[in-house]
A and B are shown apart, each in its own frame.
Chain A
Amino acid sequence: MEADTRTEVVLLACGSFNPITNMHMRLFELARDHLHETGKYKVVKGIISPVGDGYQKKGLIEAYHRVAMAVLASESSNWVKVDPWESEQEEWVETAKVVRHHHEELLMSGQCKDEADHVKKGKKRKLRASEGGVSEKLLNTAVPELKLLCGADLLESFGTPNLWKEEDIAEIVGKYGLVCVTRSGSDAQRFIYQSDLLWKHKKNIHLVNEWITNDISATRIRRALRRAQSVKYLLPEPVLDYIQSHNLYSPDSEEKNADVILAPLQKHANLSK
């Protein structure tokens, strides 16, 4: 039997998921197909990481609900799961930190495969590979590559002043990698071209073309819900039931954080003072 030499990949999607929609779930499917079709990758896991309430985005409802809905949406998936770690943090966490956290989790679970009883969570261990030689143990449990899954809006948000730290962008595209699903591939390509930083790491930015347009933005879903319009067939059925039984998304919920500045903008404005 031929050995599978493909690189294992884990896709991490960060976002508000306010609420999670069929479009979010589609991102995972499209990204997986795309990476598989290159013949070089094997996507082994998808992680949904809803942002914490500390993000202070207008209309952001409690993390508790957003996580519950994401769990309902991914229940029937055998490879995409929700990780509530980010949502449980008191303060907003930079995306680069979230990626780092999940990368460390992967490292530790890789070692857990060898030494199930011995690894204690929280203890960092250096990979022998980083010392120049790959141990036999690690060959069998090679750590999958973690990539940030997103839409074109996130890619282009790299250009918003004070939203991202330059070194965070460099870490995400340089050390980990981006899988960006977009309808307008040429706009995304142009955006990458116009940024020296992104251009440098373009090999690590995978653009996935979304031919079947699915413009189900969570903002429009919330608008429809406020207006008592149907969103059936746009969200997974259990998510719809949850929203209805908990009466989420009203004009009041949309006013939440209306007078507050988004956490990353606040943080970076303070730093530049």
Chain B
Amino acid sequence: GRYKVIEGIVSPVSDEYGKKGLVSATHRVAMSRLALETSNWIGVDPWESKQQHWSETVEVLRHHYNRLLNPDHLKGSVQDTRVNKTGQDKQDMNSYPGSPQLKLLCGADFLETFKIPKLWREEHIVEVVGKFGLVCVSRGLTDTHRFIHESDTLTRHRHNIHLVREWIQNEISATEIRRALRRGQSVRYLLPDSVIEYIKQHDLYTAESELQNAGDILQPLKTNTE
């Protein structure tokens, strides 16, 4: 009874992320748009996908947070947000009684990437969970609770990490979808029909597309090793 969710943003990663099997951002953005056509509160923001370099998660969060504070820069079909327009000091979110809080929505697998060596910078984890906040949807919470418990940083900010239990389990991973598509199997009723149509028309997700970036190192691992 404490929160009102007013907007959902889907932000596809840029091609520079370098993940194996990643098809061009143009397509991923188009498909996300199609999938969200019937939603009156979730929209796609292509900003991250258009950047020439891979953006760290905190960069994306900061970008959207600043955008929400300045309604003049709002683009697309995003609804009006309640924003404090006096331009106060942006350091402390809580000094804006009127501005919305921006939280990162993710699955349990994302949360657990915090422990992968060299994937995250410690100060970034602190910013994500401390300044912004996490809403983590997961099937089984026991492991997630333990993961938070075993990290000092996460425990310190545990009030800012909302764990959501997914009772109706829907293990529709994109990896499995791409696998089914490569094998000519039906993915009907797992994706919106409009997205399936798009994939057919553009002949996406083949054995070749899965080899995209194969053998390359994921961009964040490159960046944080330098």
Contact = CB atoms under 8 A, between A and B. Distances in A.
A binds B: yes
Interface of A: 22-23, 25-26, 29-30, 32-33, 76-77, 211-217, 220-221, 224, 231-232, 234, 236-237
A232 B172 CA distance: 15
Contacts of A32: 186
B3 interface: no
Nearest to A240: B38
B142 to A, nearest CB: 18
Interface stretch (B128-136, B188-196, B212-220): B188-196
Contacts of B177: 212
Given A76-B193, A212-B180, A33 B186 contact: yes
Contacts of B190: 22, 26, 212, 214
Contacts of B171: 212-215
Interface in B153-190: 167-173, 176-177, 180, 185-186, 188-190
A216 B172 CA distance: 12
B189 A26 contact: yes
A147 to B, nearest CB: 18
A73 to B, nearest CB: 9
B169 A237 contact: no
A256 B208 CA distance: 54
A13 to B, nearest CB: 14
Nearest to A221: B168
A77 to B, nearest CB: 8
Nearest to A223: B167
A22 B168 contact: no
Nearest to A237: B38
Contacts of B176: 211-212
A36 B106 CA distance: 37
A234 B177 CA distance: 16
B103 to A, nearest CB: 18
A215 B180 contact: no
Contact of A25 (B170, B185, B188): B188
B177 to A, nearest CB: 8
A25 B192 CA distance: 13
B185 A33 contact: yes
User: Which range holds the interface residue count of chain B?
Assistant: 10 to 19
A30 B38 CA distance: 26
Contact of B168 (A25, A76, A211, A215): A215
Of the candidates A29, A32, A231, the one having the most CB atoms from chain B within 10 angstroms of its own CB is A29
Contacts of B169: 213, 215
Given A212-B176, A212-B180, A220 B168 contact: yes
Contacts of A211: 176
Contacts of B172: 212, 214
Contacts of A77: 188
Query: Most chain-A Cβ atoms within 10 A of its Cβ — which of B167, B168, B188?
Result: B168
Interface string B81-112: 00000000000000000000000000000000
Given A212-B173, A212-B180, A214-B172, A25 B167 contact: no
Interface string B38-54: 11000000000000000
A25 B173 CA distance: 18
Contacts of A33: 185-186
A220 B170 CA distance: 12
Contacts of A224: 167-168
Contacts of A231: 168
Nearest to A235: B189
A35 to B, nearest CB: 12
A32 B189 CA distance: 14
B186 A216 contact: no
Closest 8 CB pairs of A and B: A29-B186, A215-B169, A213-B171, A22-B189, A25-B189, A33-B185, A212-B176, A220-B168
B188 A234 contact: no
Contacts of B170: 213-216, 234
Nearest to B37: A237
A112 B54 CA distance: 64
A157 to B, nearest CB: 22
Give the residue among B39, B169, B173, B193 with the most A Cβ atoms within 10 A. Answer: B169
